[in-house]
Structure 1
Amino acid sequence: MVETAGCCGLLQACCHRHDPQKYIIQGEFEIDRSPWFSLCASGLSVAVRLYSQDNKDPTTGKGIESENVYIMKGKELEKKKHEVLRLKVPTKVIKFKLKFEVTRDFGIPRAFVVENRDKKHEFFLKSVTLHYINHPNILEERKFYFYCGSWVYPITKTGFKRIFFSDQLYLPKETPQGLVELRKKELQKLQASRPKGEWHLWDRIYDYDVYNNLGDPKNGRLYDRPVLGGSTKFPYPRRLKMGHPNCQHDHSRESGPASCFQFYVPPDERMSDEKLQELKNNFVEALIRFLAPESTLPHLSDRECPDFVTKVAHFFVPKAAISKKDVRFIRSIIDFCRKLKLPSSHGGPSRSVSDPSEEQDIFEDIIGFYADKEVEELDDSDKQRLEKLVPKEILNQVVATLALKRQHVSAQLPSIVAEDKFAWAEDKEFGRQMLAGTNPVRIRHLKREELLPLYEVFYKMWNYESPEDKPEVQLDNKINQSQLQNLKKVLQGKKHKQPQLLDVYLAVVNERAFILDHHYLEQFLTMINGKGVCAYATRTILIATGSSSATLQPVGIELSLPGDSPRLVLPQDTLLWEFAKFHVASNDAAYHQLVSHWLHTHAVVEPFIIATRRRLSVMHPIHRLLDPHFKDTLHINALARAIFLNAGGILETLLFTGEYSMELSSHLYKEWRFDKQALPEDLLERGMAKLRVRDEVVSGPMEQVERDKSSNKAATGAEQKMFEVDAEVELVLEDYPYAKDGIEIWTAIETWVTGYCNVFYLNDNDVKEDEEIQEWWNEIKTRGHEDRKEGWYDINTFESLVKALTTLIWITSGLHAAVNFGQYGYGGWPPNRPMLLRKFLPNEEDINEENILKFVEEMLPDKFQMKLAIAVMDLLSRHTSNEVYLGQTSPQKERQLIEDHESIIQKKFKEFRENLEAIERNIKERNKEYNLMNRWGFAKIPYKLLYPDTSKPMPPISKEKRKHQPEKKDINERGIPNSISI
Structure 2
Amino acid sequence: MAKGSNCSRWVLCSLVKLVFNDAYISTKIHHRQVSPLRRPPTAAIAGRARVPGFGTRVNRVCVRAVISEGDKKKTMVETSKELNESAVESGGWVDVRAVITIRKKMKENLNEKIEDQWEYVVNGMGQGICLQLISDQIDPVTKSGKSIESYVRGWMPKPLSHPHIVAYMANFKVPHDFGCPGAILITNFHGKEFYLTEIVVHGFKEGPIFFPANSWIHSRKDNPESRIIFKNKAYIPSQTPPGIKDLRREDLLSIRGNGKGERKMHDRIYDYAPYNDLGNPDKGEDLARPVLSGEEMPYPRRCRTGRPPTKSEPFSESRIEKPHPVYVPRDETFEEIKQNTFSAGRLKALLHNLIPSIASALSSSDISFKCFSEIDKLYNDGVVLKDEEQNIIDNQFLGNLMRRVLTAGQQLLKYEIPAIIKSDRFVWLRDNEFARQTLAGGQPKQELHLHRMSVEEAIENKRLFILDYHDMLLPFMERMNSLPGRKAYASRTVFVCTRTDYPYAADGLLIWSAIKELVESYVEHFYPEPGLVTSDLELQAWWNEVKNKGHYDKRNEPWWPKLDTKEDLCGILTTMIWIASGQHAAINFGQYPFGGYVPNRPTLMRKLIPHEDEPEYEKFIHNPQRFFLSSLPTQLQATKVMAVQDTLSTHSPDEEYLGQVHHLQSHCNSDHQVQIMFKKFSSKLEEIEKTINARNKDIRLRNRSGAGIPPYELLLPLSGPGVTGRGIPNSVSI
TM-score (norm 2): 0.77
Alignment-mate amino acid for residue 508 of structure 1: V
Matched position secondary structure for 1:200:
coil
C-alpha change, 1:400 and 1:18, in structure 2 (3 Å) is: farther
1:195 deviates by 4.1
Q: Tell me how far apart the structure 2 counterparts of residues 401 and 278 of structure 1 sit (CA, whole Å).
A: 24
Q: Equivalent of 2:502, from 736, 747, 750?
A: 736
1:186 aligns with 2:251: yes
Please say if residues 237 and 536 of structure 2, whose CA atoms lie closer than 8 Å, have aligned partners that are also in contact.
yes
Match of 1:879 in 2: 651
Q: Where in structure 2 are the equivalents of 1:896-975 lying within 5 Å?
A: 896=667, 898-899=669-670, 901-902=671-672, 904-936=673-705, 939-949=708-718, 967-969=721-723, 972-975=724-727
Match of 2:81 in 1: none
Please say if residues 62 and 171 of structure 2, whose CA atoms lie closer than 8 Å, have aligned partners that are also in contact.
no
Match of 1:750 in 2: 516
Please say if residues 376 and 407 of structure 1, whose CA atoms lie closer than 8 Å, have aligned partners that are also in contact.
no
Q: Tell me how far apart the structure 2 counterparts of residues 501 and 144 of structure 1 sit (CA, whole Å).
A: 65
Match of 1:47 in 2: 130
Q: Tell me how far apart the structure 2 counterparts of residues 783 and 283 of structure 1 sit (CA, whole Å).
A: 35
Match of 1:796 in 2: 564
Match of 2:496 in 1: 543
Matched position secondary structure for 1:369:
helix
C-alpha change, 1:20 and 1:855, in structure 2 (3 Å) is: same
Matched position secondary structure for 2:494:
strand
1:869 aligns with 2:641: yes
**1:421-449 deviations in Å (ceiling 9; x for gaps):** 11211122222221xxxx6xx89xxxxxx
Bigger share in helix: 1
Please say if residues 432 and 937 of structure 1, whose CA atoms lie closer than 8 Å, have aligned partners that are also in contact.
no
Please say if residues 516 and 540 of structure 1, whose CA atoms lie closer than 8 Å, have aligned partners that are also in contact.
yes
Match of 2:595 in 1: 827
Q: Tell me how far apart the structure 1 counterparts of residues 387 and 271 of structure 2 sit (CA, whole Å).
A: 42
Match of 1:420 in 2: 424
1:130 aligns with 2:201: yes
Q: Where in structure 2 are the equivalents of 1:264-413 lying within 5 Å?
A: 264-289=327-352, 291-292=354-355, 361-373=370-382, 402=405, 405=408, 407-409=410-412, 410-413=414-417
Match of 1:166 in 2: 231
* Greater Cα radius of gyration, structure 1 or 2: 1
1:20 aligns with 2:91: yes
Alignment-mate amino acid for residue 61 of structure 1: K
Please say if residues 130 and 143 of structure 1, whose CA atoms lie closer than 8 Å, have aligned partners that are also in contact.
yes
Higher relative contact order (CA 8 A, sep 6+): 2
Alignment-mate amino acid for residue 853 of structure 1: Q
C-alpha change, 1:91 and 1:866, in structure 2 (3 Å) is: same
Q: Equivalent of 2:435, from 420, 426, 431?
A: 431
Match of 2:281 in 1: 217
Q: Where in structure 2 are the equivalents of 1:314-713 lying within 5 Å?
A: 361-373=370-382, 402=405, 405=408, 407-409=410-412, 410-434=414-438, 506-511=453-458, 512-519=463-470, 520-531=472-483, 532-545=485-498, 550=499
1:71 aligns with 2:161: no
C-alpha change, 1:46 and 1:506, in structure 2 (3 Å) is: closer
Alignment-mate amino acid for residue 62 of structure 1: S
Alignment-mate amino acid for residue 224 of structure 2: G
C-alpha change, 1:194 and 1:849, in structure 2 (3 Å) is: closer
Matched position secondary structure for 2:198:
strand
Identity of aligned residues (%): 35
Matched position secondary structure for 2:704:
helix
Alignment-mate amino acid for residue 33 of structure 1: K
Q: Tell me how far apart the structure 2 counterparts of residues 23 and 399 of structure 1 sit (CA, whole Å).
A: 69
Q: Where in structure 2 are the equivalents of 1:143-158 lying within 5 Å?
A: 143-158=208-223
Q: Tell me how far apart the structure 2 counterparts of residues 377 and 898 of structure 1 sit (CA, whole Å).
A: 61
Please say if residues 208 and 240 of structure 1, whose CA atoms lie closer than 8 Å, have aligned partners that are also in contact.
yes
Matched position secondary structure for 1:150:
strand
1:855 aligns with 2:627: yes
C-alpha change, 1:15 and 1:286, in structure 2 (3 Å) is: closer
1:217 deviates by 0.4
Match of 1:674 in 2: none
C-alpha change, 1:794 and 1:406, in structure 2 (3 Å) is: closer
Please say if residues 377 and 399 of structure 1, whose CA atoms lie closer than 8 Å, have aligned partners that are also in contact.
no
Matched position secondary structure for 1:64:
strand
1:843 deviates by 2.2
C-alpha change, 1:114 and 1:948, in structure 2 (3 Å) is: same
Alignment-mate amino acid for residue 25 of structure 1: V
1:73 deviates by 2.9
Matched position secondary structure for 1:841:
coil
C-alpha change, 1:517 and 1:244, in structure 2 (3 Å) is: same
Please say if residues 146 and 178 of structure 2, whose CA atoms lie closer than 8 Å, have aligned partners that are also in contact.
yes
1:361 deviates by 4.9
1:891 aligns with 2:663: yes
Q: Tell me how far apart the structure 2 counterparts of residues 377 and 161 of structure 1 sit (CA, whole Å).
A: 62
Please say if residues 357 and 636 of structure 2, whose CA atoms lie closer than 8 Å, have aligned partners that are also in contact.
no
Please say if residues 47 and 71 of structure 1, whose CA atoms lie closer than 8 Å, have aligned partners that are also in contact.
yes
Q: Tell me how far apart the structure 2 counterparts of residues 408 and 892 of structure 1 sit (CA, whole Å).
A: 36
1:116 aligns with 2:120: no
Please say if residues 206 and 241 of structure 1, whose CA atoms lie closer than 8 Å, have aligned partners that are also in contact.
yes
Please give the root-mean-square deviation of Cα atoms over the aligned residues, in Å. 3.3
Q: Which moved more, 1:150-159 or 1:186-195?
A: 186-195
1:411 deviates by 2.6
Q: Tell me how far apart the structure 1 counterparts of residues 257 and 601 of structure 2 sit (CA, whole Å).
A: 46
**1:67-108 deviations in Å (ceiling 9; x for gaps):** x3112233x64xx7xx99xxxxx9612211111122222110
1:407 deviates by 2.9
Q: Tell me how far apart the structure 2 counterparts of residues 262 and 757 of structure 1 sit (CA, whole Å).
A: 39
**1:100-157 deviations in Å (ceiling 9; x for gaps):** 1222221101111112233x2222221100022xx6xx25xx1110111122222232
Please say if residues 292 and 379 of structure 1, whose CA atoms lie closer than 8 Å, have aligned partners that are also in contact.
no
C-alpha change, 1:974 and 1:184, in structure 2 (3 Å) is: same
1:540 deviates by 1.8
1:273 deviates by 2.6
Q: Tell me how far apart the structure 1 counterparts of residues 541 and 140 of structure 2 sit (CA, whole Å).
A: 28
Q: Tell me how far apart the structure 1 counterparts of residues 407 and 493 of structure 2 sit (CA, whole Å).
A: 51
Please say if residues 294 and 369 of structure 1, whose CA atoms lie closer than 8 Å, have aligned partners that are also in contact.
no
Matched position secondary structure for 2:573:
helix
Alignment-mate amino acid for residue 477 of structure 2: L
Alignment-mate amino acid for residue 973 of structure 1: G
Q: Tell me how far apart the structure 2 counterparts of residues 400 and 746 of structure 1 sit (CA, whole Å).
A: 52
C-alpha change, 1:418 and 1:849, in structure 2 (3 Å) is: farther
Q: Tell me how far apart the structure 2 counterparts of residues 752 and 543 of structure 1 sit (CA, whole Å).
A: 34
- Structure 1: give runs of 5+ residues left out of the alignment: 1-8, 85-89, 296-359, 382-397, 444-456, 462-499, 551-733, 953-964
Matched position secondary structure for 2:235:
coil
Please say if residues 352 and 639 of structure 2, whose CA atoms lie closer than 8 Å, have aligned partners that are also in contact.
no
Q: Tell me how far apart the structure 2 counterparts of residues 524 and 111 of structure 1 sit (CA, whole Å).
A: 57
